[in-house]
Amino acid sequence: MVASSRSAFDPLELLAQCKNLVRAHLVAPWDNPSVSSYPVVLSHLRSLCLRIAMRSPHATVLFLNYLTAPVLDELHLVFPSNSTWDESPITAFQLRSPSITTLKISGYTSDMTFEAVKAALLNAPLLTHLSIVCCDTWLLKYVLDALSLSGDESHILVPRLHILTLKCSQFRKSEDTVRGIIDSRWWPDDELSMHGAARWSRVNLTELSECSSPEFGIGPELRDKMETLQQSGLDVNIGVASLLDLE
């Protein structure tokens, strides 16, 4: 199902009529839900993509306050240029969706904070797949900083995470952190039982060509590191993508 602000129905009323919905791509903007709006429980929803509105980002995220998806498996949040990350409704929605295993965050967020990113990971304890698609430095930095905390096995945010996808433009400034994060979850087969977190099974690193330049993209040291890890058995993919693939 794809719903947008151009739909003839109020989005909540529309969703309320789709109790068996399994996948949804919701395209905003919407105004604030009316006072008559009521919580909608989608008991079968497995995959949700929500595009945050540029015109009314706060209202769009507040839409999540009226939605419950108890068996949700995939959550994709798309932030157009200079949109807003509103932590409280996103956190509350995640707490009502405790089964999320795949989280994807795409776009440009003007007010992203480290604490917001950390909360998004902390509230997804079953997370196995994490994908970040961005054309700025802050989202990548905060995600890497949050994952760096997982290097301490006494404080692992996402212990089941094993597939990481980073599609960005500013790798060069964060190469040491990227290498450290990958090293922190890669060990020989005979050490699998010694660690409190899953080992990486796949790492995807992709440069966004239109907003990257040679001095900011994936550098030779990181490429060499990935090649070494690939030779040791890690599934590594390095590539270049168009900005049109931001989602």
8 A C-beta contact, residue 169 and residue 208? yes
The tokens for 120 are: 């998004």
Contacts 24+ apart (CB under 8 A), 173-178: 173/137, 173/141, 173/216, 174/137, 174/140, 174/141, 174/144, 175/218, 175/219, 175/221, 175/222, 177/144, 177/145, 177/148, 178/144, 178/205, 178/222
Kindly list the distances between the CA atom of residue 185 and the CA atoms of 53, 124, 182, in Å, as whole numbers in the listed order: 36, 18, 6
Residue 171 confidence (pLDDT) above 50: yes
The tokens for 223 are: 């490429």
Task: Say which residue, 222 or 138, is predicted with more confidence.
Answer: 222
8 A C-beta contact, residue 200 and residue 156? no
Query: Of all residues in the chain, what percent are helix, strand and coil, respectively (each to 5)?
Result: 35, 25, 40
8 A C-beta contact, residue 146 and residue 174? no
Taking the complete model, does pTM exceed 0.75, yes or no? yes
Percentage of the chain modeled with pLDDT above 90: 32
Per-residue pLDDT tens over the stretch 20-59: 999 998 876 555 555 456 788 999 999 999 887 666 666 6
DSSP letters spanning 95-126: HT-TT--EEEEEEEETT--HHHHHHHHHT-TT
The rounded mean pLDDT for the chain is 81
pLDDT of residue 7: 46
The tokens for 160 are: 């089941």
Per-residue pLDDT tens over the stretch 79-130: 876 666 778 888 999 999 999 999 999 877 667 788 888 899 999 999 999 9
What is the rounded CA–CA span in Å between residue 77 and residue 203? 21
pLDDT of residue 48: 95
The tokens for 8 are: 């003839």
